[in-house]
Amino acid sequence: MHEHYLEPDRIRLVENLSYPDSGLIIADAILKQHYRDFFERNDGLPTLYMPASEKSKNHRSLAIIYTFFTKQNLKRSDTVHIYGGGIICDLAAYGVATFKRGCRLKLYPTTLLAMVDAAIGGKCAVNYQGFKNQIGTFYPAEEITIYPPFLQTLKPIELRQGKAEMLKCFYISEQLSDIDTSDSSIPGVSQILEYAKFKMDICAQDPHDQGIRRTLNFGHTFGHVLERLSGYRFKHGDSVIAGISAAIDLSLKLGLIDSEVDELSRKNLSSYPLPAAIDRFLSKLSIPDILSEARQDKKNSGSALKMVLPIGYRKVAIRDVSPTL
Amino acid sequence: MHEHYLEPDRIRLVENLSYPDSGLIIADAILKQHYRDFFERNDGLPTLYMPASEKSKNHRSLAIIYTFFTKQNLKRSDTVHIYGGGIICDLAAYGVATFKRGCRLKLYPTTLLAMVDAAIGGKCAVNYQGFKNQIGTFYPAEEITIYPPFLQTLKPIELRQGKAEMLKCFYISEQLSDIDTSDSSIPGVSQILEYAKFKMDICAQDPHDQGIRRTLNFGHTFGHVLERLSGYRFKHGDSVIAGISAAIDLSLKLGLIDSEVDELSRKNLSSYPLPAAIDRFLSKLSIPDILSEARQDKKNSGSALKMVLPIGYRKVAIRDVSPTL
């Protein structure tokens, strides 16, 4: 992979979005409605619209992408421009990464989640047999363009998913600025850039997810279990927030944090509008169910069950929790 | 990708083949017959046998591999041991490279072609819609084990395909030792290692196939056209030899070599037992047919048609031939 693309300067913040000169476009189908003038032009580039659904993040959609590339005779030296949220970025970037062993890739994240998380760091993947992102690779984009006005057409529920990943980052680094997780607020441009660059910086230090990058997985072990066991009924960010809450619980139980840190940590979570259904669902799960599912997580190896856990306020560490549970 | 795996020391020559301690095995189905004692043991590792056919080097076979990995709960830190020729190595390694974004990979090439070529350098892929290796990535094995006795069960026609790739290397470097391409001979152990390390060394200099590594494509532009237009009726090595012959023709026509070099170059080809059917097929193709097909080659970009051509005896260079044809 192109590790030199993992640098904060690859993230470009623009006030005006210019239409690409050449190459192909893959875009979330919803963008055709919201930004018709931009995408639907007479002299436009060949464009493939795809539905952004977790259920269609699979090899069938990948085949549609490969067929589009083949028909358009995409060359390795051609650029594919991808406009969309996390699902479209993950799916289409995996297509670009594997077509002719990799073509040029530029990402234009249209959701907050994609701007601060999914589009950063080169991970791309499809789901397989119910497991999220089971098939994938690392293929950083050569450029990530953040155009904040995209956020104005985002539903509050979508905006919240991005804030969830930001809140996760807030918990793993004391350096990041405070965030407002209440439903109505949109993070400022400079804060979006701050958080996006924070993630990029961590990825650059550990491109293949073998060390510090794993701290970005905070809240994800239980979060993924929740998504999977609920048949992806719950949104990713919401599930991560529930996972963070469960991780704080576990840290307190294991004595990794004291009640004071627990209380401080919960304070930031309290303003996040977590759907009550998630809490209810989580409370019905048994510990053995959760553990057996968590072991399937692709970041685990052998019999260990490694989790990112708080060891202080806004401080996390990776711990093997299998002997203690 | 793991570029540090692209080093000649990763190639291990062994006199005895020891059964792996742990992990999973994917093997060419034919090996079950030839090496039953080795593969079929009571305490053996989970093993998936796959047919080695160009027609099954596709996403359907990949799904069989992914399902095997999922059922066996393969972890990133587990090793997959792959025993087979070029097709199995390419296909299964692509499965390993993309499962959970990459697990550990060790290759045990069982054909001469795989020992000196397919298993070296990290390229892995599947075919797509009739295009060879259209979907793939770079994922070097952490170890390539060469066990020469495997060659004893190889049919002469298979052995010849490996010698074809060796002959190709012979043409691109004056440093390599002479090879005997007649049908009955098996190259010596030290020569196999010499040629395997030669390829590895070139790949290490240019992991992503952007410069010197492309010289390994000598004979392949026309070779791939031949394979594709014949519906893969002809073998890869044979097609490459026909492609080399055509490339020498073209170089002479373009004045890149003189008739003396042409004659010298042809001498080494003359002992190669190229099937007459290939020559007949090639002579029926029109130049426009060949060019239009050659432009589809994934190594080409824009309107250029870059080919590796002889510019002397055992000296090649990359030239854009589109303006001259």
Q: Which pLDDT tens digit goes with each residue over A90-119? A: 999 999 999 999 999 999 999 999 999 999
Interface with chain B: mutation pick from A58, A60, A101, A299, highest number of B CBs within 10 Å: A101
CB contacts, 8 Å: A1 with chain B: 1
Last residue of a domain, one of A112, A138, A156: A156
Element (H, E) at B239: helix B236-253
Disruptive mutation site among B70, B100, B132, B297 for chain A (greatest number of A CBs within 10 Å): B100
CB-based burial label for A208 (10 Å; 0-12, 13-18, 19+)? middle
Q: What is the pLDDT of residue A324?
A: 66
Instruction: Give the residue-averaged pLDDT of B248-261.
Output: 94
CATH number at residue B310: 1.20.1090.10
A301:B78 CB<8 A:
yes
B126 in a domain, yes or no? yes
Tell me whether residues A129 and B70 touch, CB distance under 8 A: yes
Same domain, B146 and B54: yes
Cβ neighbours of B217 in A, within 8 Å: none
Q: Tell me which residue in A76, A138, A302 faces B301 most closely, judged by beta carbons.
A: A76
b/e B305-321 (16+ beta carbons within 10 angstroms → b): bbbbbbeebbebebbeb
Sort out which chain A residues have CB atoms less than 8 A from B101's CB and list them.
123, 125, 133, 136-138, 209, 298
- pLDDT in the model for residue A285: 82
Is residue B236 assigned to a domain? yes
Phi then psi dihedrals of residue B264, to 5 deg: -55, -45
Whole-number pLDDT of residue A220: 93
Q: Which of B111, B140, B155 is the last residue before a domain boundary? A: B155
Higher pLDDT, B295 or B140: B140
Taking an 8 Å cut-off on Cβ atoms, the answer to whether B97 and A129 are in contact is: no
Domain boundary among A116, A140, A156: A156
Domain total of chain B = 2
pLDDT at B3: 83
pLDDT at B191: 97
- Are B225 and B146 contained in the same domain? no
Residues A67 and A189 in one domain: no
**Residue B172 forms part of a structural domain:** no
More confident residue, B322 or B115: B115
By CB neighbour count within 10 A (0-12 exposed, 13-18 middle, 19+ buried), where does A130 fall?
Answer: exposed
- Reported confidence tier of residue A322, pLDDT bands at 50, 70, 90: confident
In this prediction, residue A282 has a pLDDT band, given cuts at 50, 70 and 90, of confident
Residues A150 and A10 in one domain: yes
Q: Do A75 and B134 touch (CB under 8 A)?
A: no
Nearest CA in chain B to A209: B101
> Per-residue pLDDT for A286 more than 80?
no
- For residue B301 the two structure tokens come to 């970009």
- On the question of pLDDT at A296 being above 80, the answer is no
The whole-angstrom distance between residue A56's C-alpha and the CA centroid of its chain comes to 17
Predicted pLDDT at B125: 98
> Span A224-234, mean pLDDT?
87
Classify residue B207: in a domain, yes or no. Answer: no
pLDDT tens for each residue of A116-172: 999 999 999 999 998 889 999 999 999 999 999 999 999 999 999 999 999 999 999
Quick one: tokens of A156? Answer: 């509050």
The CATH code of the domain that includes A140 is 3.40.50.1970
Question: A300: pLDDT confidence band, cut at 50, 70 and 90?
Answer: low
Chain A residues in contact with B130 (beta carbon < 8 A):
none
Decide: B218 and B167 in contact? Cβ < 8 Å. Answer: no
In 3D space, the residue among B175, B163, B317, B300 whose CA is nearest the CA of residue B250 turns out to be B317
Do B302 and B225 lie in a common domain?
Answer: yes
Same domain for A64 and A129?
yes
Report the gap between the CA of B214 and the closest CA in chain A (Å): 14
| Least confident segment among A227-236, B42-51, B77-86 | A227-236
Domain span at residue A216?
Answer: 160-320
Q: Work out the average pLDDT over A76-86.
A: 97
Supply the pLDDT for residue A325. Answer: 60
- Whether A183 and A246 share a structural domain: yes
Residue A325 belongs to a domain: no
pLDDT, residue A92, reads: 98
- Using pLDDT thresholds of 50, 70 and 90, give the confidence band for residue A238: very high
Distance from the B75 Cα atom to the nearest Cα atom in chain A, whole angstroms: 5
* Euclidean distance between CA atoms A223 and A299, whole angstroms: 14
Task: Give chain A's contact residues with B (Cβ, < 8 Å).
Answer: 1, 59, 63, 66-67, 70, 73, 75-78, 97-102, 123, 125, 128-129, 131, 133-138, 208-209, 296, 298-302
Q: What is the distance of C-alpha B309 from the center of its chain?
A: 19
Q: Judge whether B203 lies within some domain.
A: no
Kindly state whether residues A168 and A151 are assigned to the same domain: no
Residues contacting A244, CB < 8 A, separation 6+ = A167, A168, A171, A218, A219, A223, A269
CB pair distance less than 8 Å for A73 and B296: yes
- Could you give the C-alpha distances from A240 to A199, A203, A235, A294, A305, in angstroms and in order? 16, 19, 9, 14, 18
In a shared domain, residues A190 and A313: yes
Q: Which of B76, B125, B302 faces A101 most closely, judged by CB atoms?
A: B125
Q: For B303-323, how does the pLDDT look when each residue is reduced to its tens digit (9 = 90+)?
A: 678 899 999 999 999 998 877
Give the DSSP H or E segment for A91: helix A86-98
pLDDT digits (tens, 9 = 90+) for A196-211: 999 999 999 999 888 9
Of the two residues B180 and B20, the one the predictor is more confident about is B20
Answer whether residue A2 shows pLDDT above 80. Answer: yes
For B103, the 3-state DSSP assignment is: coil
**Nearest-angstrom CA–CA distance, A163 and A229:** 23
Which single residue is written with the structure tokens 């856990």?
A309
A179 and A52: one domain? no
Q: Of B57 and A227, which is predicted with more confidence?
A: B57
Element (H, E) at A104: strand A104-109
pLDDT of residue B2: 83
Query: Measured between CA atoms, how close is A64 to chain B, in angstroms?
Result: 12
User: Would you say A140 and A121 are in contact if contact means Cβ atoms under 8 Å apart?
Assistant: yes
pLDDT for res B202: 97
Mean per-residue pLDDT, B186-201: 96
Please report whether residue B15 resides in a domain. Answer: yes
**Portion of chain A with pLDDT greater than 90, in percent:** 77
| Chain B CA closest to residue A133 | B100
pLDDT at B47 over 70: yes
pLDDT exceeds 70 at position A194: yes
Burial class (CB in 10 A: 0-12, 13-18, 19+), A269: middle
**Dihedral sign computed on CA atoms, order B39, B40, B42, B45:** positive
Residue with tokens 């931009």: A38
In the predicted model, what is the mean pLDDT of residues B160-170? 96
Predicted local confidence at residue B301, as pLDDT: 61
Residue of A nearest to B104 (CA): A301
Percent with pLDDT over 70 in chain A:
96
Chain A residue with minimum CA distance to B127: A100
For residue B56, pLDDT over 80 is answered with: yes
Same structural domain, A66 and A213: no
Residue A73 shares a structural domain with residue A164: no
pLDDT at B45 over 70: yes
Closest by Cα among A218, A209, A211, A7 to A120: A7
Residues in B touching A72 (Cβ below 8 Å): none
Give CA–CA dist B203/B247, Å, rounded: 23
Residue B183 lies in a domain: no
pLDDT tens figures, A13-56: 999 999 999 999 999 999 999 999 999 999 999 999 999 998 89
ipTM surpassing 0.90 = yes
Nearest to B135 among A98, A129, A133 (CB): A98
In angstroms, the CA A301 to CA B271 distance is: 52
